[in-house]
Amino acid sequence: MTSLPPSWRRRVKATVAAAAMAVTALLTAAPAHADDTAPPPFTDGFGLTRIGAPEVHSSTDFTLTVATAQLSGTHRIRVLLPRGYAEDPGRRWPVAYFLHGGAGTVDDAAAAPALHSDSMITVVPDGGLKGWYADWLMQNTALGAANWQTFHTRQVVPFIDANLRTLADRSHRAVVGLSMGGYGALHYAELRPDLFGHVASLSGGIDLGMAEIRGTVVATELNLPGAWCAVSTSGTGQCTGYGTYVDSDAIFGSPYPVFNADHVWNEVNPAASANLAKLSGTAVTLYTGDQGPIDHFTAIATHTVQTRLDRLGIPTRLVDYGNGSSLSPTCNGGHNYGCWAPALADYVPRLAASFTAAG
């Protein structure tokens, strides 16, 4: 370089220095897409152990796989974050827990776009093909440990609060479910009013005093066709089945009202007045159609619950959309996401407003 004029030497040195800085930046920087897709870090706890890497659907939609002694096997928890979550690290968010229906999975939440709200975190925990959101009476079936209620209320909720920026109080926490999950939502709201200040049940099997609903639970245990199931996101409209056969008394014991043999059914019945009384101070919303062999009965159960809540002086918002014409062109009043998706589109903004009003 000594043969070059001084001005040229200065230019060459500057160019080489700039190139070196650029190479260093490329070598040390993370891939451009990494921060855009990586979910927030999670730490094991509350009896939950993460298995493998998260399944990332987008920067605000990912699924964790966990193991717990409360359940056999591994189970998934899908998390939907508001788009502003990463951009506003000082903000805390309300949380809605969505409970899927029988024969459903956490991925069924994709069939209801309103669940992915920019106003709240939505958590969709696995509920099993026929878990019925219960700690099963029988723990020695072919399915092994089946303490779904404990998994959700004593493990998943505190696990989420410990790992995400949540508003961890009942005024900012909701439980929402459909079909089997509609039962689970109302049951959990009654069981843990300290956790949930808002509850919504859509086409829920919420009156275990009805023989038809007891028969449905038994049918899922025996994996019989024709029982209630959440229509999957596959769009086939067909129930995929309830998995391994178990004893008809496995979940709640004997369903027959003889010599108090059905006492567990009665104790956990969301429609029992003693349980409904626990919803005092909880915002209750109920949705149902009345068409087809399934929602014909969910409508009866839903109106029974509302009547009993009225007697207790507990306000309830009931949306009976009948044949679906008043709800959406996609709804036929039956047991499907053609009705549930628009029902959730009606409910989620109302829930968000309630969260905001709570401060």
- The DSSP code sequence of 92-159 is -B-EEEEE--TT--GGGGGG-GGGS-SSSEEEEE--TTT-TTSB-S-S-STT--BBHHHIIIIIIHHH
One-letter identity of residue 58: S
Please choose, from the candidates 210, 206, 255, 205, the residue with its C-alpha nearest in 3D space to the C-alpha of residue 229: 205
Tell me whether residue 217 is in a domain.
Answer: yes
Per residue in 306-342, pLDDT tens?
999 999 999 999 999 999 999 999 999 999 999 999 9
Check residues 156 and 231 and name the one with the higher pLDDT. Answer: 156
Tell me whether residue 34 is in a domain.
Answer: no
Tell me whether residue 252 is in a domain.
Answer: yes
Residue 38's pLDDT band (cuts 50, 70, 90): confident
Tell me whether residue 4 is in a domain.
Answer: no
**Polymer length in residues for the chain:** 359
Check residues 227 and 79 and name the one with the higher pLDDT. Answer: 79
- Which CATH number is 246's domain given? 3.40.50.1820
Query: Using an 8 Å Cβ cutoff, are 64 and 57 in contact?
Result: no
Residue 179's pLDDT band (cuts 50, 70, 90): very high
pLDDT of residue 241: 85
Across-strand partners of 288? Answer: 320
Residue 39's pLDDT band (cuts 50, 70, 90): very high
Tell me whether residue 220 is in a domain.
Answer: yes
Residue ranges making up the domain that contains 50: 45-357
One-letter identity of residue 273: S
Tell me whether residue 24 is in a domain.
Answer: no
pLDDT of residue 30: 36
Global pTM reads 0.89
Per residue in 230-257, pLDDT tens?
655 434 445 678 999 999 999 999 999 9
What is the total count of domains within the chain?
1
Per residue in 44-72, pLDDT tens?
999 999 999 999 999 999 999 999 999 99
Tell me whether residue 37 is in a domain.
Answer: no
Tell me whether residue 109 is in a domain.
Answer: yes
